Amino acid sequence: MNPYQAPLAEMKFLLDKVFDAPQTWASLPEIAETVDLDTAIAIMDEADKISRELIHPINRSGDEQGVVHQDAKVITPDGFKEVYNQYAEGGWVGFCGDPEFGGMGMPKMLGVLVDEMAYSACNSFTLYGSLTAGAALCINAHGSEELKEKYLPMMYCGEWAGAMDMTEPQAGSDLRNIRTKATPNDDGSYNISGSKIFITGGDHDLTENVIHLVLAKLPDSNGISLFLVPKIKVDDQGNLGESNGVTVGSIEHKMGLKASATCVMNYDDAQGYLIGSPNRGLVCMFTMMNYERLAIGIQGLGTSQAAYQMAADYAKERVQGVAAGGSPTGATSDPILVHGDVRRMLLNIRVLTEAGRALSVLTGQQLDIAKFGEGDAQAKASRYVGLLTPVSKAFLSDRGLDAAITAQQVFGGHGYIRETGIEQLVRDTRIAQIYEGTNGIQAIDFLGRKVTGDNLVALTEFVTECTDKLTSLTQVDESHKAKVIVLFDELLAAAKMVNDNKSTQPAIVNASAVDFLDAFGHILYGYFWLLMSDAASNEPDAEFASQKRYLSDFYIAKMLPKAKYHLAQVREGDSTVMSMPENLF
Amino acid sequence: MNPYQAPLAEMKFLLDKVFDAPQTWASLPEIAETVDLDTAIAIMDEADKISRELIHPINRSGDEQGVVHQDAKVITPDGFKEVYNQYAEGGWVGFCGDPEFGGMGMPKMLGVLVDEMAYSACNSFTLYGSLTAGAALCINAHGSEELKEKYLPMMYCGEWAGAMDMTEPQAGSDLRNIRTKATPNDDGSYNISGSKIFITGGDHDLTENVIHLVLAKLPDSNGISLFLVPKIKVDDQGNLGESNGVTVGSIEHKMGLKASATCVMNYDDAQGYLIGSPNRGLVCMFTMMNYERLAIGIQGLGTSQAAYQMAADYAKERVQGVAAGGSPTGATSDPILVHGDVRRMLLNIRVLTEAGRALSVLTGQQLDIAKFGEGDAQAKASRYVGLLTPVSKAFLSDRGLDAAITAQQVFGGHGYIRETGIEQLVRDTRIAQIYEGTNGIQAIDFLGRKVTGDNLVALTEFVTECTDKLTSLTQVDESHKAKVIVLFDELLAAAKMVNDNKSTQPAIVNASAVDFLDAFGHILYGYFWLLMSDAASNEPDAEFASQKRYLSDFYIAKMLPKAKYHLAQVREGDSTVMSMPENLF
């Protein structure tokens, strides 16, 4: 099996030609000072190299060996610590971090591509850095100057890691019921006591310290507050002191991600520091959650790309049967890539993965404008981030599992064998549909809060911009443009139907949300394919241009119609979903 | 978690009211002597009991412990041998076996339900008996009287097990390239030499002997012949003698089915006996393959049922959030079953599982008529078996994975934890889409051989019977009947389109096959739901009747439209699938 190789041509094409990163970056002074296209390309080349040569080699062995909880310590598989040290030294943990505290200040539009490469190389490994970057983002946004100065530089440089502690056994999707308590101390700190489960990177041996962001309740309050709780106390000079009442109860035995430490964390009067205002912890935590939601979508995207490469390589090498019209080479057996069903599977993965990358780059771009831009542009980008974040999380992670399962099918029986490696992708990526808010929760956030919650304003604005852009394209079939535009119109009509009925049919949002998000995703990908096909037609590389045209034609013919199915589901409403009495389930 | 409980009410309803087993059995003298409805019901009650109390308890522990290959022996997990002994003593291995050689002679129409229960209880365990029954079926159909007398009684009683040895590293879907050799001996036997991979139940400690059915080539022949090769030689008195040059090279490390021994088998001048005619081995093996294909579909069905039960139980117990319109009980937190998206997931699984059971019972019924019937009825049933076998295998196993994944989603983060048990169902059932011919191969068999291969004769006959039956129903909505009938018509039109174009577009069958099978499956399930809803309306249990009506309405509104998507795919043809040059993949 060939090792992972990043799709650099596609990545550069998206940045430069489809989403015009140079223009975006030039409009944002803080980014313009930091990076230009040439630098970005050099960074991507380096990210490809470390993903392939450094991270990917510990992927399979990490799965077989897994994390071990022994003598109250959590031990990562062989090689993880060494690779993490090199990764951190390269500055990748603080890649998009605030330069004032030692981050590299890179745009998210580039960061999503770097993240994709790392996730393609190893899901488990990449989570450690991703959680750290997310925690740092939250501290930077809501923490006091003192906390920022004390913790951020050590997190950006990778010396200390981060974790997000929300879930408790009785409080998962519904965090109202958490029981972890925070008692104020005289010095302004708090004593935190309670237990958390499913804590990714809750403890490990990659770093000396782990900085936990813990949701807890203040005395006599039902509000939820957020606290920074280091595993090991840090003195005023930034030195590590004594341990802080933070211990690992156990590690979870999981379907996959076996090299990622998922911990039960116990807090016994651990010293913590309030982040943001009292009882406003969820708002602060959502800064991290939204970051992680995009990152988890990219976990699915990275998995899709890795799955495609493995399956395509195998389909070119594996010889079995003869092409339906006779062997093109006159051989008695052909590579299985000649078979229509194998091509269908590979094309399915490929078109969803390339459009998925476009979604991640667009979301990254809007995050950058929302963070570094100003005025109307900034406000609009914030609305788009709100729309696109749940879609990126859910649609990319759903397509990630589909891709891994489809790629596994290309391998036939060999795909079920652990040594082949493709079944690990299925197991590793499955959780991406669940954690950081299940994909059902994402869909409800999208349809309930982001779409109908503001009376379709943001969605209409976004769709109008897409259809205007489509109308202006000159190098794609008019009939293809018309198909996507009609579906966008039907999507808006379906959204209006839900919005009009939600007061009299309170369950309609919940019951229709997943289909609505899936419809939007499939239409959006049609839009992306026409953008890409149009942009590629101007590329000097004629093969690249014709490849994007083939893929775009396949998407419009074969995948776009799925949107119709999902729209029909939304239009069907919720009556058949809600009417059966509970005792008949 | 509640232990598995067979859906006995649904099973009895299908047998008695939907497919009229009493009438079918009365028309087949050999079956009529063996079983009537009361006996069948007593048998199902017993099968439920042993599935829950005997088989299910070794399911989780078997997954954790797995099969071990040690000192040239294959050791199954704790409890498997004891449970297998009791299972065999109960006569379940020979349940549908020929009574002349000690089988119980039960109809397959009942056997599919017994198999479903066992697969729901434990996928890995049930394969051992299923492979044995399949091998016995093949020996009974094609073996000499001597072989039958010597081997069948010991296989039906479960003293010896069976296995099917086809795949080699270079020969999977394409068996032309097998290299295993058979050299004739003077005594009429053959010496078999070669290696086989992916052999389910290839060796284990459940039985004293394993009877292998091995594909091999005779000297100077490219034809493929089938041989019976016992692991341990059997003398003329039926006593076990010396070992037979059959050894285990290794066991495979798999994604799931960890308690099922999947072996690399080595044959070193092992003594074997020809089954059927020389060079006609694939025809003989297909007797077993077709049996196993239905069984593997039922593996998917059993998984779906187990997944539904686990997820529905969890959704009733897990309290999280409040219903969209306010808690129905005024509570501050409701069971998650109140949420539309959770209901949607459960209903998806439920309607596909109940219709899937109808497919398995119909296929079993047609197998019984094809085997025990006569004249036109027998000939027609044989055509229907040809049509329905690849559909049962592929559609039931595809839905099995969908069900397990959807049920896992209901569990949220807990679904990713091994102890919960639902992720095991995902891992165990994934292989059902691959082995016994991948689902792509099944679809190509269906569209290429069974549908267009006989100029749509069998499909038209089957569809006409379904639409006539639909027209005669009196207790379902006319609009629902019309929807299914229109789709059946569109299906025939799509089949005609493929048939008309296949000579000029040789890839069209291969490229369209999976979508064609999926379209057929979804329409067929609509037909089953109307049959079930109609039949249930006459049931004395009003709750049962209303439940089937709710489920039927949900299926027609929400699932049937998927057929439109798949039909549109077929109509799109193969141009976008086949046109991209291989080097651009």
Write the CATH number for B190: 2.40.110.20
Burial of A291 (0-12, 13-18, 19+ CB in 10 A): buried
Compute the distance between CA of residue A129 and CA of residue B541 in angstroms, rounded to an integer. 58
> Is it the case that residue A198 has pLDDT exceeding 80?
yes
Read off the DSSP letter of residue B56: G
Q: Which amino acid is at B61?
A: S
The predicted structure's pLDDT at residue A289: 80
Q: Which amino acid is at A326?
A: G
Beta strand residue intervals within B157-315, DSSP E: 160-165, 181-184, 190-200, 209-216, 225-230, 232-234, 240-243, 246-251, 262-275
Q: Which amino acid is at A544?
A: F
| Same domain, yes or no: A37 and A130 | yes
**B300, B429 contact by CB (below 8 A):** yes
Q: Which amino acid is at A217?
A: K
Which residues of B fall within a CB distance of 8 Å from A561?
565, 568-569
Measure the N-to-C terminal CA separation of chain B; round to a whole number of Å. Answer: 46
**∠ Cα B522 B525 B531 (to 5°):** 150
Choose one of B113, B135, B156: the last residue of a domain.
B156
Tell me whether residue A398 is in a domain: no
The predicted structure's pLDDT at residue A285: 87
Sign of CA dihedral A498, A503, A505, A508: positive
Compute the distance between CA of residue A164 and CA of residue A268 in angstroms, rounded to an integer. 17
| Same domain, yes or no: A133 and A170 | no
Show the tokens assigned to A566.
């999902």
Sign of CA dihedral B19, B24, B25, B31: negative
Question: Which value, in Å, is the radius of gyration of the alpha carbons in chain B?
Answer: 24
Report the number of secondary-structure helices (H) and strands (E) in chain B: 20, 11
**Chain center to CA of B56:** 19
**Residue in A171, A513, A547 closest to B584 by CB:** A547
Residue of B nearest to A177 (CA): B320
Q: Which amino acid is at B498?
A: V
Beta strand residue intervals within A432-576, DSSP E: none
Kindly report the average pLDDT of chain A as a whole number.
97
Name the least confident of A265-279, A347-361, B84-98, B284-298. Answer: B284-298
Choose one of B229, B260, B279: the last residue of a domain.
B279
Tally the domains of chain A. 3
**A54, A83 contact by CB (below 8 A):** yes
| Same domain, yes or no: B462 and B480 | yes
| Same domain, yes or no: B226 and B125 | no
| Same domain, yes or no: B12 and B77 | yes
Compute the distance between CA of residue A141 and CA of residue B295 in angstroms, rounded to an integer. 57
Residue of A nearest to B422 (CA): A255
Compute the distance between CA of residue B222 and CA of residue A328 in angstroms, rounded to an integer. 23
Tell me whether residue B326 is in a domain: no
**A157, A145 contact by CB (below 8 A):** no
Tell me whether residue B191 is in a domain: yes
Tell me the pTM. 0.97
Which residues of A fall within a CB distance of 8 Å from B562?
565
SS3 readout for A28-84: CHHHHCCCCHHHHHHHHHHHHHHHHHHHHHHHHHHHHHCCEEECCEEECCCCHHHHH
Q: Which amino acid is at A37?
A: L
Which residues of A fall within a CB distance of 8 Å from B256?
416
| Same domain, yes or no: B71 and B203 | no
**A272, A245 contact by CB (below 8 A):** no
Show the tokens assigned to B107.
């109809």
The predicted structure's pLDDT at residue B475: 97
Just list the catalytic residues of B: 436
A413–B198 C-beta distance less than 8 A? yes
Read off the DSSP letter of residue B76: P
Q: Which amino acid is at B382?
A: S
A557–B413 C-beta distance less than 8 A? no
| Same domain, yes or no: B205 and B132 | no
**A540, A482 contact by CB (below 8 A):** no
Helix (H) or strand (E) holding B313: helix B281-317
What's the average model confidence in pLDDT over A119-133? 97
The predicted structure's pLDDT at residue B419: 96
Best CA proximity match to B101, nearest among B140, B43, B143, B133 = B140
Tell me whether residue B249 is in a domain: yes
| Same domain, yes or no: B138 and B182 | no
Compute the distance between CA of residue A440 and CA of residue B324 in angstroms, rounded to an integer. 14
Portion of chain A with pLDDT greater than 70, in percent: 100
Interface with B, mutate which of A337, A341, A409 (most B CBs under 10 A): A341
| Same domain, yes or no: A21 and A148 | yes
As a residue count, chain B comes to 585
Burial of B540 (0-12, 13-18, 19+ CB in 10 A): exposed
Residue of B nearest to A312 (CA): B585
Compute the distance between CA of residue B453 and CA of residue A435 in angstroms, rounded to an integer. 48
What's the average model confidence in pLDDT over B503-531? 97
* Bridge pairing between strands B181-184 and B68-70: unpaired
A585–B337 C-beta distance less than 8 A? yes
Domain that holds residue B457: 438-576
CA dist list (Å): B57 to A31, A366, B123: 60, 53, 12
Within 13 Å of residue B459, how many CA atoms lie on the same side as its CB? 27
Angle, helices B562-572/B508-536, rounded to nearest 10 degrees: 160
Best CA proximity match to A442, nearest among A173, A195, A129 = A173
> Is it the case that residue A2 has pLDDT exceeding 80?
no
The predicted structure's pLDDT at residue A161: 98
The predicted structure's pLDDT at residue B248: 97
Compute the distance between CA of residue B183 and CA of residue B187 in angstroms, rounded to an integer. 12
Query: Which residues fall within 8 angstroms of residue A437, CB to CB, at 6 or more apart?
Result: A173, A289, A293, A393, A445
CA dist list (Å): B447 to A326, A364, A544, B360: 19, 45, 35, 20
The predicted structure's pLDDT at residue A287: 81
Task: Count CB atoms within 10 A of the CB of residue A479.
Answer: 8
- Beta carbon pairs, A and B, within 8 Å: 259
**Residue in B312, B416, B572 closest to A430 by CB:** B416
Tens digits of residue pLDDT in A500-544 = 999 999 999 999 999 999 999 999 999 999 999 999 999 999 999
| Same domain, yes or no: B169 and B121 | no
Tell me whether residue A357 is in a domain: no
**Residue in B170, B176, B510 closest to A339 by CB:** B510
pLDDT-derived band at B2 (thresholds 50, 70, 90) equals low
| Same domain, yes or no: B166 and B151 | no
Residue A92 belongs to domain with CATH number? 1.10.540.10
Compute the distance between CA of residue B166 and CA of residue B284 in angstroms, rounded to an integer. 12
| DSSP for A235-256, written as a single string | -TTS-EEEE-SEEEEEE--BSS
pLDDT-derived band at A65 (thresholds 50, 70, 90) equals very high
Interface with B, mutate which of A322, A343, A556 (most B CBs under 10 A): A343
Tell me whether residue B118 is in a domain: yes
Tens digits of residue pLDDT in A357-406 = 999 999 999 999 999 999 999 999 999 999 999 999 999 999 999 999 99
Tens digits of residue pLDDT in B62-109 = 999 999 999 999 999 999 999 999 999 999 999 999 999 999 999 999
Tell me whether residue A244 is in a domain: yes
pLDDT-derived band at B286 (thresholds 50, 70, 90) equals confident
Tens digits of residue pLDDT in A421-468 = 999 999 999 999 999 999 999 999 999 999 999 999 999 999 999 999
Give the SS3 label for residue B200: strand
The predicted structure's pLDDT at residue B289: 80
**Residue in A252, A418, A580 closest to B417 by CB:** A252
Choose one of B279, B311, B338: the last residue of a domain.
B279
B440–A409 C-beta distance less than 8 A? yes
Tens digits of residue pLDDT in A181-195 = 999 999 999 999 999
| Same domain, yes or no: A128 and A145 | yes
Tens digits of residue pLDDT in B352-375 = 999 999 999 999 999 999 999 999
Give the SS3 label for residue B508: helix
Tell me whether residue B308 is in a domain: no
Best CA proximity match to A340, nearest among B555, B370, B505, B387 = B505
pLDDT-derived band at A44 (thresholds 50, 70, 90) equals very high
> Is it the case that residue A1 has pLDDT exceeding 60?
no
Sign of CA dihedral A295, A299, A300, A304: positive
Compute the distance between CA of residue A99 and CA of residue B112 in angstroms, rounded to an integer. 66
